[in-house]
Amino acid sequence: MDVQYQGKNIADILDMTVDQSIEFFSVNAKNHNTEARIVMKLQPLAETGLGYLRLGQSSDTLSGGEAQRIKLASFLIKGSAEKPTLFIFDEPTTGLHFHDIRKLLDSFNALISKGHSVIVIEHNPDIIKCADWIIDLGPEGGDMGGNLVYEGTPENLIGIKESYTAQYLKIS
């Protein structure tokens, strides 16, 4: 006989997405401390746009962006560090729906509000527009790139003719 909790065995629970498990454990979280702690541990995963992942999903199936967001969520779960930390993310929005990109931006802002610094290497115009400071390298990739095209605020980038990033920001 399977061990069950609220009509589900471990295989059922591991097959749930993060969002489904938050909903499942939230039902009893008001009356039981264990369920409340489970929800608190899962919430940062949902807040970083990972609510679609299954609890039992193997880590070797994650994209690089998903792995970075799991690290971000684990830091958010632990809470504040004693001293400010520098976070560097390499294209964390890869594969994200625009609603999840908003969640990721909120997570970045939560880090910044706690005194941490965030550097993001990104091509997504929604992320670029929200940056405090941009370093645009190019104008092309490979042998035709690597030169400083622009450094400054997103608002001033739009006037730089040599910047492909500026062209995409004008469109979006």
Q: Is residue 33 part of a domain?
A: yes
Q: Name the 3-class secondary structure at 87.
A: strand
- State pTM to two decimals: 0.74
Q: Which domain holds residue 126?
A: 10-131
d(CA 164, CA 149): 9
The tally of domains found in the chain comes to 1
Instruction: Tell me, letter by letter, the H, E, C secondary structure of 91-125.
Output: CCCCCCCHHHHHHHHHHHHHHHHCCCEEEEECCCH
Q: Is residue 61 part of a domain?
A: yes
Q: What is the average per-residue pLDDT within 111-138?
A: 92
Q: Is residue 15 part of a domain?
A: yes
Q: What is the pLDDT of residues 41-54, one digit of tens each?
A: 999 999 888 999 99
Q: Is residue 63 part of a domain?
A: yes
CATH number at residue 95: 3.40.50.300
Q: What is the pLDDT of residues 18-71, one digit of tens each?
A: 999 999 999 866 667 888 889 999 999 998 889 999 999 999 999 888 888 898
